[in-house]
């Protein structure tokens, strides 16, 4: 399995802020935990929209402390946002992130994915990805930490013992896809949706689109 090529990724990246600063780790506990450490270390110096990416997570986390198996070949990353949004808005940001991933899968890869409320991404009845969002406050600064995990170029047997409940993009398409392209596509869709929401506070318009994708 080839490591993620950050130079190739940057050539595909078409965002204004999100993902312009990317921090890569070959292996980490979880990208959300690594993002938290960076926030406390860098504080005001950390660029808004920084993405933390790992090839392997040893302690990937889902909701309610559930383990998220994260072998090589997936996309395991966290987006760090400096925001003035209230903590109660976090579930809406999580849905916007899920909507962005599903939109890319549908539009760019012809994978008819759906959102399983509130934070899972499914293909048919099998889990393809998930999102874990958290908030960190430092003084008057609020950071949103959006952790996203997607089974990309992973063989079904490598996500055992969950293979009966999970699937990968590779299993759906019958081939690997270019992670260095897939990640910029997600970040582009997410930045567009997030900036609209942050600027207008209009979640109703976005939710009308999300409703059609709920499983």
Tell me the average pLDDT across 45-57: 93
Q: What is the mean pLDDT of the chain?
A: 89
| Angle in degrees, 0-180, between the axes of helices 179-200 and 203-211, rounded to the nearest 10 | 140
Q: Would you state the pLDDT for residue 64?
A: 42
The predicted-structure confidence for 98-134, as pLDDT tens digits, reads as follows 999 999 999 999 999 999 987 899 999 899 999 999 9
Q: Which fold has domain 6-211?
A: BirA Bifunctional Protein; domain 2 (3.30.930)
First to last CA, the chain: 32
The predicted-structure confidence for 63-79, as pLDDT tens digits, reads as follows 444 555 688 899 999 99
What is the Rg, in whole angstroms, of the alpha carbon atoms belonging to the chain? 16
Contact predicate 129/150, CB 8 Å: yes
Identify the sign of the CA torsion 195, 201, 206, 207: positive
Contact predicate 77/49, CB 8 Å: no
For the entire predicted model, the pTM comes to 0.93
pLDDT for residue 62 is more than 70: no
CA distance 8 to 10: 5
């Amino acid at each position: 399995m080839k490591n993620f090529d950050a130079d190739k990724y940057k050539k595909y990246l078409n965002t204004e802020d999100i993902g312009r600063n990317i921090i890569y780790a070959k292996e980490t506990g979880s990208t959300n935990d690594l993002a938290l450490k960076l926030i406390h270390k860098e504080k005001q110096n950390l660029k808004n929209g920084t993405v933390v990416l790992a090839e392997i997570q040893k302690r990937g986390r889902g909701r309610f402390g559930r383990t998220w198996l994260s072998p090589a070949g997936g996309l395991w990353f966290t987006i760090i946002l400096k925001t003035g949004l209230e903590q109660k808005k976090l579930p809406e940001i999580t849905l916007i992130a899920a909507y962005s991933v599903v939109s890319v899968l549908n539009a760019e890869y012809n994978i008819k994915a759906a959102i399983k409320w509130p934070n899972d991404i499914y293909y048919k009845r099998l889990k393809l990805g998930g999102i874990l969002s958290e908030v960190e406050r430092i003084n008057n600064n609020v950071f949103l930490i959006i952790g996203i995990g997607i089974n990309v170029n992973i063989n079904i047997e490598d996500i055992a013992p969950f293979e009966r409940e999970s699937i990968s993009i590779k299993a759906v398409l019958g081939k690997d896809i270019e992670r260095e392209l897939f990640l910029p596509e997600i970040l582009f869709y997410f930045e567009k949706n997030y900036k609209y929401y942050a600027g207008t506070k209009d979640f109703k318009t976005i939710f009308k689109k999300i409703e059609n994708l709920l499983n």
